[in-house]
Homo-oligomer: A and B are copies of this chain.
């Protein structure tokens, strides 16, 4: 039947078997995987084949390996994926702009989804951000965006966003300035009230003013 698809790529089968093993053993994020030698024995393949599969998963950021320590299911989201991709595909200065724009695509869509969904836009978390801005005068930019992406409910979009946000580094992980306070409050309040266009306008303003280019 689909032999043509299934036949090849034994190395990909190992990846799949690894996943199955992880589910069976109920290995949680951050926990240790069996050693390469044990895996090679249990899966009935050579250690080098196991390593090829593990290296691939490592490059994707799905596992972490510690020399002499073992292999662990990734807990933190420090994916090298974007870095590697950009190393190969995006080379010039435009790359960074592309990463930023792509990240913002997902953020804008999340804001749209939340604004249009009553259950999502009336969550208490938005009010907590709003109040925090009122009292403390600042919030962590990355935290706000992450919450927005998470709430939107698209887990693949979330995955992509994490990778792009990791690429942008600390430029995103900062406290909002005094100038951004009003903009952020406008964005949050508009989102809560379901004013999609107003929320997006505030977002655009935020992204335009908050960073220097």
Chain A interfacial positions (CB closer than 8 Å to B): 8, 11-12, 15-16, 19, 48, 51-53, 55-60, 62, 67, 80-82, 84-90, 94-95, 98-99, 101-102, 105-106, 108-109, 154-157, 159-160
Q: What's the dominant secondary structure at chain A's contact region?
A: helix
Given contact pairs A48-B48, A102-B154, A59 touches B59 in the complex (Cβ within 8 A): yes
A43 to B: closest C-beta gap in Å: 16
Which of B16, B59, B101, B105 is the one whose CB lies under 8 Å from A56? B59
A145 to B: closest C-beta gap in Å: 15
Which of B56, B81, B108 is the one whose CB lies under 8 Å from A55? B56
A210 to B: closest C-beta gap in Å: 20
Given contact pairs A56-B59, A60-B81, A67-B8, A156 touches B19 in the complex (Cβ within 8 A): no
Q: What is the CA–CA distance of A156 and B85 in the complex, to the nearest angstrom?
A: 9
